[in-house]
Chains A and B, each alone.
Chain A
Amino acid sequence: MTETPLPPSARSTRWTCPFCVLLCDDLSVRENPVGNGFELAAGTCAPAEAGLAQFGTAPSAATPRVDGRPCPLDDAVAAAARALVASRQPLFGGLGTDVAGARALYRLACDTGAICDPADGDALMHGVRALQDRGGFTTTLAEVRNRADLIVCVGGLPFGPRADFFRRCGLGEATVAQRHVVVLGGSANDEAALAALTGRGVTTESVSMQGGDLFSTVALLAAVLADRQVGAVPPQLATLAERLRAARYSVIVAETPRLPEHGALLIETIDRIVATLNLATRSGALWLGGGDGAGTVNQVFTWLSGLPLRSRAGPAGLEHEPLCFDAQRLIDDAAVDSLLWVSCFDAGCVPPPTDLPLIVLGHPGLAAPAGRTGTVFVPVSTPGVGSAGHLFRGDGGAVLPLVPLYRDTLPELADVLVRLTQAVKSLRTEASA
């Protein structure tokens, strides 16, 4: 393992934020005035602030636990291995980790035949299923910054009013002289935030949904753009269609976790809109999702196995079931008999309520949800806070290195998983001897 140089504690340091999919890497972090935590040295960003608030300035002294009682790491690993070996169908959930964690997790998933589904797997599957059915045409942050003269936010402003999204899009910069930002189906808060974006070459507009339904609104827009006969079109939507046709480079953006149930259908329709526009002008979709490591783990599992998440190396072979391998459904149906939960970035990402044997590997703050009998808890380091790591940005292309804010005493997830995988193998060997 290579040593990563650590910042002197008193000054602010450049930092890459692992707490949302934009992975802003131009932030500075410093100790807060009280000295008990970190804060942004400049600017505000709700996800970054909430993420940092989960950490002190020094490594956590949390210890592993079995059945809620502190124990050495070896004992916790041994207990977790026993639970996995005893399980006929494990479920790996949460999946909040980085590339190194995902690589190690895949080996354990292969060895145990576990089904793997990230927290909020439905949101990830919106994009995966639309891609499998139709494909799509996407763009990335630098393209948006340099080209987009029309940005249409579907279902609300990405990351809410206090996030850094529009700064990352270059709004108000001279790269694009005049931009128009539209929110389609936004909230009252979004409309207020839009007003704040206006000026410096930026105009804004809020377009309401047809009958309060995003699906029919987007479908109608697609039909108008495809020159289908659709009867009377609400003026706002007709104007939006004209703007899309006239734009040199339009971007349609949505935060996939905020899309409603059956969001894959929305993505599919928007992909169709983008395809129609690309016949005559230029357009791209920007799907922002896969936060807390879910998108990263999906990338890693896809390249290793050939299949995305909601898959398992089961008795029949490698299976991918984007509907049936929904973690909550599996738990509700008693189709799994153990749960291994990973959440390195978010102490609030707790495992679903269950009486199943439970192994939690994650942020020290997850000790409480893993405190009952039949649980193993191993606190692990958070990439980008206590250790180095790599995450995929939400637009899919860029992988950014994460640098730690302090040198952790907690182990990295990958190290724990390697030990756990070895322990599982040893138990199996003993059992067959």
Chain B
Amino acid sequence: MTRLRLRGGRVVDPTQPADDVRDLCVQDGRIVTIDPREPVDEEIDADGCVVMAGGIDLHTHIGGGKINLARLLMPEDHRTRGNPIALPENPLELASCGGCVPGTLATGYRYVEMGYTAAFEPAMIASNARHAHMEMGDTPILDHGAYVMLGNDELFLQLLAEGGASGRNFETIRDYMGWTIHATKAMGVKVVNPAGISAFKFNQRKLDVDENHVHWQVTPRQVVHTLARALRELGVPHPLHIHGSNLGSAGNIESTLQTIQALEGLPGHLTHIQFHAYGVEGPKKFSSAARQLAEAVNANPNISIDVGQIMFGQTVTASGDTMRQHAQSGLANPRKWIGGDIECEAGCGVVPFKYREQSYVNALQWVIGLEIFLLVDDPWRVVLTTDHPNGGPFTSYPHLIRLLMDRSFREEQLAKLHPDVATNCALRSITRELTLREIAIMTRAAPARLLGLVDRGHLAPGAAADIAVYREQADREAMFTTPEHVFKDGTLVARAGRITAVPVGGTHFVEPDYDRAIEKTLRAHLAAHGSVNFDHIAIGHDDLCRCCNGGRLLPAACFEGAT
């Protein structure tokens, strides 16, 4: 029963009324209250430090088929100036390398060194679920979970189409969703280019929100609404995770606003929204629609977002959106890319990309992301992401935090951009600087709340002792790059940028209730159309344990559904 006291730090916990300087105590992996006069086993001086809950990344491509393809595609990313990446000096670390798509081991070490303690893979394909859980299980220290992809699988589209306008098949779809979450041990559901990945398999090249899928004759609007409603009825805490239509296209703000309308007030999380907030104004017919987007988010409390900020430099984009990745594959840098149609349920597109400051489009993308961060009023509905690795690697978060907290630094960076962007963008006139409390919301408290993780993302008594202790510095990038101490469930896992313990992280998932009778339908469908025996699809708890390397299973509670 080890007791630890972090003495005299400024505790920034947005779930508490004030960010007081106070002691924070830990016992058996949990935050506890201990009388200041009582002895503890270890006391750490946190004077001059900011104490936050461990960071939670709710959208980061860290595990599964397409990210391993990205690693295979980019061996040059796994060298440094032509030389092999040196082996770790720390005997606790195993060799693992990579810049924009590191190995899972390096991913875990680097996240933890920055004070993050949980990360969520947003695009798990059901047929690839074991693989995703295996990679996450091999991402040390971090707790993890994944959202399973629906909305492009032929069975869903067929049920939706055959149910007609009256939604006759809604209950079947809901139970199918419940079974899929159960079978894949998912934490949520994501839709990627609703119906568009499937449409591309039927040789359709574009799909607007109210346009029919060429084969199934259903629209993205129907897909989004049906999925959001089903998820709500199943009581899954995380809202439908939506990668909307027309990613990356000029003018796609229209699709984004229509997607918000399609939800009709149902909860929805619009992911990497920067890539979906483009207008068609200006000489290049490509403009920021950040203000329109922010107004819509501000006006619709059912909507949350993560930004997907881009960062300049080399990265590789890895997406389930085959339709859009194929369309943009001509921009690949270096000139190579991977695409795939997958199991009548999904797809993937892996396109290397180099964001350049002197590119008008890239500069504007950078600006749009920051504008969104700064124009949305309620930080509880905004999560800080780069859509790792699509906008940039997660290791750039401290730089991003500085951009958001430090206006003069932001302006220095802005001045380096393509002159038309630097001169004309609305960002220039935005004076807002995010506070530490707002950063703590966007990187911890809000993602925990959006995921339904009641004991994470805050530091109230009873919470898990996932803690990051940052030395207060004016240079926020330096401050957030290397916390003094990082604790995972009360264990010191990093000290001043050095990994000190490598526990296996736990797996978050939800287990919604659904009508088991759906299995008969699924068994028949798979027998006629699948490539895997129905009995081998669902991942049981023992199997999940093996996949996840023996980490703890962390089922999250569902709320009482509307049914």
Residues of A whose CB lies within 8 Å of any CB of B are 2, 14, 16, 25-26, 99-100, 103, 106-107, 110, 128, 131-143, 145-147, 168, 173, 175, 248-249, 278, 281-282, 284, 299-300, 302-308, 313-314, 316-320, 388, 390, 392, 396-401
Contacts and interface: CB of A to CB of B under 8 A. Distances in A.
A25 B536 contact: yes
B521 interface: no
A140 B339 CA distance: 12
Given A110-B94, A131-B338, 8 more contacts: A14-B535, A107-B94, A131-B72, A302-B68, A304-B138, A398-B127, A398-B343, A398-B531
Interface stretch (B22-30, B96-104, B395-403, B440-448): B96-104
A142 B343 CA distance: 5
Given A26-B533, A278-B326, A400-B536, A140 B340 contact: yes
B416 interface: no
Contacts of B77: 306
A356 to B, nearest CB: 24
B203 interface: yes
A147 B201 CA distance: 9
Interface in B311-343: 326, 332, 336-343
B426 interface: no
B76 to A, nearest CB: 8
Contacts of A168: 531
Contact of A106 (B94, B128, B340): B94
A317 B87 contact: yes
B128 A398 contact: yes
Contacts of A16: 533, 536
Contacts of A307: 71, 75, 78, 97, 103
A191 to B, nearest CB: 27
A399 B201 contact: no
A175 B528 contact: yes
Contact of B78 (A103, A141, A142, A306): A306
Interface in B519-563: 528-533, 535-536, 542-543, 545-547, 549
B131 interface: yes
Contacts of A314: 84
Nearest to A307: B78
Contacts of B342: 139-140, 143, 397
14 contacts: A2-B542, A103-B138, A142-B344, A142-B530, A145-B529, A146-B529, A248-B203, A316-B83, A316-B86, A317-B85, A317-B97, A318-B78, A319-B84, A320-B78
A304 B94 contact: yes
B106 interface: yes
A390 B132 CA distance: 13
B154 interface: yes
Q: Which 4 A-B pairs have the closest CB atoms?
A: A317-B84, A306-B103, A306-B98, A141-B531
Contacts of B127: 140, 142, 397-398
A52 to B, nearest CB: 18
B97 A299 contact: no
A247 to B, nearest CB: 11
Majority secondary structure, A binding face: mixed
A235 B40 CA distance: 86
Given A302-B72, A314-B84, A317-B86, A14 B533 contact: yes
Given A135-B73, A141-B531, A305 B549 contact: no
Given A303-B63, A303-B68, A306-B101, A284 B128 contact: no
A117 to B, nearest CB: 16
B105 interface: yes
B95 interface: yes
In the complex, which of the residues B69, B97, B341, B531 has the most CB atoms of chain A within 10 Å of its own CB atom?
B531
B65 A397 contact: yes
Contacts of A306: 71, 77-78, 96-98, 101-103, 106
A388 B535 CA distance: 15
A386 B535 CA distance: 20
A351 B135 CA distance: 30
B71 A282 contact: no
Contacts of B53: none
A388 B528 CA distance: 27
Given A143-B344, A299-B131, A304-B96, A135 B542 contact: no
Contacts of A284: 340-341
Contacts of A103: 138, 549
Contact of B341 (A140, A248, A302): A140
B125 interface: yes
B370 interface: no
A249 B341 CA distance: 11
B417 to A, nearest CB: 30
Contacts of A308: 71-72, 75
Nearest to A282: B203
Given A142-B344, A397-B342, A399-B128, A318 B104 contact: no
A107 B73 CA distance: 24
Contacts of A100: 546
Nearest to A130: B336
A139 B341 contact: yes
B134 interface: yes
B353 to A, nearest CB: 13
Contact of A132 (B73, B86, B326, B542): B73
B345 to A, nearest CB: 8
B476 interface: no
A144 B73 CA distance: 24
Contact of A303 (B138, B326, B531, B535): B138
Contacts of A396: 65, 340
Nearest to A319: B84
B350 interface: yes
Given A318-B84, A397-B128, A390 B546 contact: yes
Given A100-B546, A131-B338, A140-B340, A304 B536 contact: no
A110 B105 CA distance: 12
Contacts of B508: none
A175 B529 CA distance: 7
B533 A25 contact: yes
A99 B201 contact: no
A208 B252 CA distance: 49
A399 B130 contact: yes
Given A307-B78, A397-B65, A397-B343, A318 B536 contact: no
B524 to A, nearest CB: 14
A318 B530 CA distance: 39
Contacts of A317: 83-87, 95, 97
Contact of B338 (A2, A136, A318): A136
A303 B104 contact: yes
Interface string B102-141: 1111100000000000000000010110110011001000
A399 B342 CA distance: 13
Given A305-B95, A390-B547, A137 B339 contact: yes
A319 B105 CA distance: 16
In the complex, which of the residues B134, B337, B545 has the most CB atoms of chain A within 10 Å of its own CB atom?
B134
A107 B91 CA distance: 12
Nearest to B105: A304
A303 B130 CA distance: 14
Nearest to B72: A131
Contacts of A173: 528
Contact of A134 (B85, B128, B336): B336
Contacts of B102: 306
Contact of B336 (A135, A299, A401): A135
Given A143-B342, A299-B131, A320 B543 contact: no
Contacts of B75: 132, 307-308, 320
A307 B94 CA distance: 13
A278 B200 CA distance: 10
Nearest to B200: A282
A135 B350 contact: yes
B532 A305 contact: no
A215 B530 CA distance: 34
B86 to A, nearest CB: 4
